[in-house]
Amino acid sequence: MDKMFSDEINILKALAIMLVVSGHLEFSLLGIFPPYSFQLALFFFISGCLFKDKYLNNVAEFFERRVKSLLVPYFWYNLFYLGVTLIIAKLTGKFWGMQLSFKNFFITPFLNGHQFDLSCPLWFVTQLFMTMITFLFLFRILRKVTENKYIHLLIFSVIGMLAIPFDKYFAVTPVMLVVIRTMMSLLFVYWGYFYTHYIKDNHNIFTPKWLGIIVCLQSILWLFNRDFTPEHGIGLSYVLVWGRFDNQLIVPILTSLTGIWASLFTVKILYPYLKNVKFIQDMGNVTYHIMANHLLVMYIITAIFMKIHGIPIAERANHDIYWIYNPVQTTYLYFVVTMIVTTYVGVGLKKLHSLVENKYNITLEKSEK
């Protein structure tokens, strides 16, 4: 991967995590492209962009790397948020999570991933792990059958689109939820792979003509806006975490496509200005930690506002985990503070991890001599 593309991907990761945080604060960074209509598709897309063909012949290495990069930190965070949730329960009288049990600590993460409310965005991590392992095995099979990239694209497209009506025709049990998420996300992963291998260096899809086409298409898609009741979220939202598509069929696929294109276009435009901005580089490098900690930071900000205005912290228990104090005036302050705090916490945690890892390796080398 050349340096320019690597830098663009890092900026794209930073944009993707800002879209996640802004989505939880219920505003859109990209105007007519509302975050819940594509932001998680964008993360799966990025994973597809970064997928290396060498892993098709080295399943064990791929599995080991995904366990180390995704699952090991996940369960450390699971332990951390168990402690945080217990402390908050003692202070406020509300336990923000599911009943403590072996199943909810070790099995639920691979089902709905909402065992602790404050860390619930990490459902994406275990789902990404399952999606990428499934993608590896399925892609290995397809490559053995045919090398035709368009047949691969067709098959992944059919799998992704078939996921959408599942919530209508099947009871969405925890296992079926994982099936729906995996089917849908496989398409986004392959889009990333397809873009990197067959479009990026061969076709310019970021011209004024393409901009006009995407804006026109997105404008038409807004005719399917379901934002007339609060349960539907922001604009063209669909809720992948719960496998809910509100009787839409092709719209979630199209909004994912237009949103990913808009994100790539934004990065192309901003790349000359952001490529050397260290904060953006850091943000792109610690998206895992931002995903894990942004709701906790928002909770702390809310607690500070409540303390300042003399509101008992126990009052916080009357609202859901995404509730913030006086959103009309504070939403953007929440966003800025949360992005700054979680980014630098992430940087600090990465440095700590490197120090511990280096010390462990040095100790191991000495013991082997």
Query: What percent of the chain stands above pLDDT 90?
Result: 77
Q: Which residue has the tokens 């080991």?
A: 64
Judge contact between 21 and 294, C-beta under 8 A: yes
Say if residue 153's pLDDT is above 60. Answer: yes
DSSP secondary structure letters along 266-296 = HHHHHHHHHTT-HHHHHHHHTHHHHHHHHHH
Instruction: Kindly state the DSSP code that residue 100 receives in the 8-state scheme.
Output: P
Higher pLDDT, 46 or 360: 46
Confidence of residue 119 (pLDDT cuts 50, 70, 90): very high
Residue 322 CB contacts under 8 Å (≥ 6 apart), including other chains: 24, 26, 295, 298
Say if residue 29's pLDDT is above 50. Answer: yes
Confidence of residue 207 (pLDDT cuts 50, 70, 90): very high
The pLDDT value given to residue 230: 47
Domain boundaries, the chain: 3-278
Residue type, 194: F
Confidence of residue 7 (pLDDT cuts 50, 70, 90): very high
Q: Which of 57-66, 165-174, 317-326 has the lowest mean pLDDT?
A: 165-174
- 219-232 tens-digit pLDDT: 999 887 765 454 54
- 275-324 tens-digit pLDDT: 999 999 999 999 999 999 999 999 999 999 999 999 998 888 889 999 99
**Angle made by CA atoms 33, 35, 40, in degrees to the nearest 5:** 120
**Mean pLDDT (the chain, rounded):** 91
Question: What's the rounded mean pLDDT across residues 136-165?
Answer: 95
**Angle made by CA atoms 221, 37, 41, in degrees to the nearest 5:** 125
The pLDDT value given to residue 232: 47
Question: What's the rounded mean pLDDT across residues 58-77?
Answer: 96
The pLDDT value given to residue 3: 85
